Amino acid sequence: MIRKEAKLIGRLDDPKIPRKPTRDGYGQGVVEAARKDQNVVVVCADLTDSTRNADFKKTFPERFVQVGVHEQFLAAGGAGLALAGKIPFITSYAMFCPGRAWEMVRTNICLNDANVKIVGSHAGVSVGPDGATHQAIEDIAILRPIPNIVIVSPCDAIEAEKATLAIAAWKGPCYLRLAREKTPVFTTEESPFEIGKAAMLRTGKDVAIVACGPLVHDALLAAEELAEEGLDAMVINSHTIKPLDEKAILHAAETCEAIVTVEEHQITGGLGGAVAEYLSKVRPTIQEFIGVPNVFGESGEPAELLRHFGMDVPAIKRAAKKAHKRKTHR
């Protein structure tokens, strides 16, 4: 059942549930972070409005830096700002930073352990009609092998705001993965958030669904429907992909002995991979992977695309049943 301590909203399947993009939560959070610390600066690459930095620009014009369509410079210049004491939030679409700027992220930011906050918006296939060129579904995979970096994929706008404040206070490189589309706001101001500490949202014993990003809501909906069908699913919001909350993952494996990972990202190299790499060392566990199956995205409406690539509620339910069946037939 849904844990009270998770402090979620009352009715998760309310059709009138408020919807807001996670990037909006960042936009509010970064203004707040700047009020708390005068070293916070925002660097934009010609995408000020769509990365939700317009409020920051208006509130702190002297701390707003426009670099134009220069994503490599965004990352390398950001490293320079950090090495001189600033806390730069370098912002673009995830496809371009970290995407285009990967080597600068790796060498200039992470190898330097520079205190840069990389904000990648428009991650996932939910960018929708823009198509494959703009759908970043490899960003987690390209960052996970890099030492020093923290990777956070918040589940809704409220969590994104908390995550923004948390990474501003964190010493070292961080990546904040954001989405363009409006998605349900189902956590509350009271919901706990801590970098590196996964949130147990629903207890269960038959199968554990470990999810990140806005699909956490879909995972919860799937779990509630599965309960009606007699399958008791645990749901974990693994918002921090690196460092992975190994304690929470091990607990899920020990309790349920079957795992489904859920992410709007390539199956290769993402949250699912991180969970599998860890569990294979300490407690090999049956696992099903929800994510993009080694194909590029394409144009379409976000909901259509999630269905098309097998990342919607029915797909999560199917995966949960399959994992459970594999466990019982072992």
Partner 1 sequence: MAHLSDKRIKELELVANTLRRHVIEMVAHAGSGHQGGPLGMADVFAALYFHALNHDPKNPDWEDRDRLILSNGHTCPIRYAAMAEAGYFPVDELMTLRRLGTRLQGHPERHKLPGTETTSGPLGAGLAQAVGMAYAGKMDGKKWRVYCQTSDGEHEAGLHWEAMLFAGKNRLDNLVCIVDRNDIQIDGRTEDIMPLEPLRAKYEAFNWHVLECDGNDVSAVVDALHAARSLFDKPICLITHNVPGKGVSYMENNFLWHSQPFKPGEAEAAVAELKAYREKLEAELVELL
Q: Which of 240, 161, 245 is nearest to 195 (CA)?
A: 240
71 annotated active-site: yes
Give the helix ranges, DSSP H, for the chain.
22-36, 54-59, 71-83, 102-103, 139-143, 157-169, 215-228, 246-256, 271-282, 302-308, 313-328
Whether the CB-CB separation of 40 and 87 falls below 8 Å is answered with: yes
Classify strands 174-177 and 117-121 as parallel, antiparallel or unpaired: parallel
Separation between Cα atoms, residue 196 and residue 187, nearest integer Å: 18
| Residue 319 binds to partner 1 (criterion: CB under 8 A) | no
Residue in 5, 32, 71, 190 annotated catalytic: 71
Separation between Cα atoms, residue 319 and residue 262, nearest integer Å: 10
| Residue 79 binds to partner 1 (criterion: CB under 8 A) | yes
Nearer to partner 1, 55 or 103 (CB): 103
Whether the CB-CB separation of 40 and 30 falls below 8 Å is answered with: yes
| Residue 15 binds to partner 1 (criterion: CB under 8 A) | no
Nearer to partner 1, 100 or 239 (CB): 100
| Piece in contact with partner 1 (CB under 8 A), picked from 13-21, 111-119, 188-196, 200-208 | 111-119
Contact positions with partner 1 (CB under 8 A) in 38-77: 41, 62-63, 65, 67-68, 70, 72-73, 76-77
Q: How far is the CB of 41 from partner 1 (least distance, A)?
A: 8
| Residue 147 binds to partner 1 (criterion: CB under 8 A) | no
Q: How far is the CB of 42 from partner 1 (least distance, A)?
A: 13
DSSP three-state, residue 271: helix
Classify strands 233-237 and 199-202 as parallel, antiparallel or unpaired: antiparallel
Separation between Cα atoms, residue 113 and residue 102, nearest integer Å: 15
Nearer to partner 1, 111 or 250 (CB): 111
Q: How far is the CB of 65 from partner 1 (least distance, A)?
A: 7
| Residue 216 binds to partner 1 (criterion: CB under 8 A) | no
| Residue 103 binds to partner 1 (criterion: CB under 8 A) | yes
Binding site for partner 1 (CB under 8 A): 41, 62-63, 65, 67-68, 70, 72-73, 76-86, 88, 103-104, 107-108, 111-113
Catalytic positions: 71
